[in-house]
Structure 1
Amino acid sequence: MKLKEELLKEHSLIHAQKISIWAVESKSNLKQLMDAFFSKEKLVVQRASWSASKAYELKPQWFEAYIPHLIACLDKPIHGSVRRNSLRILQTMDIPESYSGKLIDTLFALLADSKTESAVKAFGMTVAYNIIQHYPELKSELKIIIEDQLPFAAPSFKSRAKKIINNL
């Protein structure tokens, strides 16, 4: 498959799934997809990030090597889909302790920023909640950040926030 051409051909769920199935046929294919995800071409990145999140659903064990890249691209995403799909992947991963500090700082900043899109905040809340299970001293800080956002939040954020607050 000529991945870049395929990514640019169409933007649909069926097409993203088709690419994700191809990606998990081999680790080499997955590497090509992830290289596209972390590239500098906005449209390629957008479409690759969606396919990568679908590929993760098929072979989550193959994504451990990409944790540092997924975290790094949260800081300056080339497209909004990068944060959303990176966090969608990270929300069910076991994050190694060596990445937890940087990631929790980034997540707290994203959650506190009123400009952060609702889906990013929802996925980010879940990732933060998962990390703080290992750092209980951060529970109150996460709760404060979430509660500060509630009055202005979208319904998707409120729904997930209530579940997380109840578990804190």
Structure 2
Amino acid sequence: MDLTRELLRAHTRSQATKIADYVNDNPTHFKVLVDTFLKGPYRITQRASWPLNLCVERNPTLVKPHLKRILRHLQEPGIHDAVKRNTMRFLQFCTIPKSLHGNVADLCFQYLQSKKEAIAIKVFAMTVLSNIIEKEPDLKKELKIILEDQLPYASPGFTVRAHRVLKALGNS
């Protein structure tokens, strides 16, 4: 299957599902999808993100061999919001290796504290951080401070997710 051609054909649930079904649990097909997602341009990245997310939701272990490369890509200057947003979205479903906790947490904290980042990026970063905090509880206080500081000025979407995360973090 020519993924780029298929991605350009339509941006629908059925097309995303068709591509995700093609990739299935095949690491080679998944690598091609990741490469396509990272290569761009924007429209391809946007459309590749949906089947990529479906694949990671179905089988989160597929993305593990690609995480370092994806994280390096996120640190490049001028990276499009679609890449940030969709990467944070699928990281919610992954068990991030302990060796990458620091890198992922740093990125998430950067996104949360930036006034320029889109709300969706911040919301997904919040959830990724709360998942990391289950294994790295020392980060809990920092996340709580950042969220509580932003709540009075936050959008409704940010506020709902922040309250949910704060509740999950508890009072400690």
Looking at structure 2, the residues matched to 19 and 48 of structure 1 have their Cα atoms a distance apart, in angstroms, of 9
Counterpart residue type for residue 26 of structure 2? S
Letter in 1 for 2:163: K
2:19 corresponds to 1:19: yes
Extract structure 1 runs of 4+ deviating beyond 6 A. Answer: none
- Quick one: distance in 1 between partners of 2:159 and 2:72? 27
Q: Which residue is 2:5 aligned to?
A: 5
Equivalent in the alignment of 1:111: 112
TM-score (norm 2): 0.88
Change (3 A) 1:59 1:104: same
Q: In 2, Cα distance between the equivalents of 1:15 and 1:78? A: 25
Aligned counterparts of 2:93 and 2:53: Cα–Cα separation in 1: 11
Whether the 8 Å contact between 2:60 and 2:95 is mirrored in structure 1 is no
Does 1:160 find its partner at 2:161? yes
- Equivalenced residue count is 168
The alpha-carbon distance between structure 1 residues 133 and 57, as it changes in their structure 2 partners (threshold 3 A), is closer
Where does structure 1 lack aligned partners over 5 or more consecutive residues? Answer: none
Q: State percent identity of aligned pairs.
A: 39
Indicate the residue corresponding to 1:85 in structure 2. Answer: 86
Aligned-residue offset at 1:143: 0.6
Confirm whether residue 46 of structure 1 aligns to residue 46 of structure 2. yes
* Structure 1 residue aligned with 2:31: 31
RMSD of aligned Cα (Å): 1.7
What letter corresponds to residue 61 of structure 1 in structure 2? T
The range that moved more, 45-54 or 76-85, is 76-85
The residue type equivalent to 1:146 in the other structure is L
TM-score normalized with structure 1 length: 0.90
CA shift, 1:40, in A, is: 4.0
2:85 & 2:55 partners in 1: Cα distance? 15
| Contiguous gaps of at least 5 residues in structure 2 | none
Q: Equivalents in 2 of 1:132, 1:58: separation in Å?
A: 23
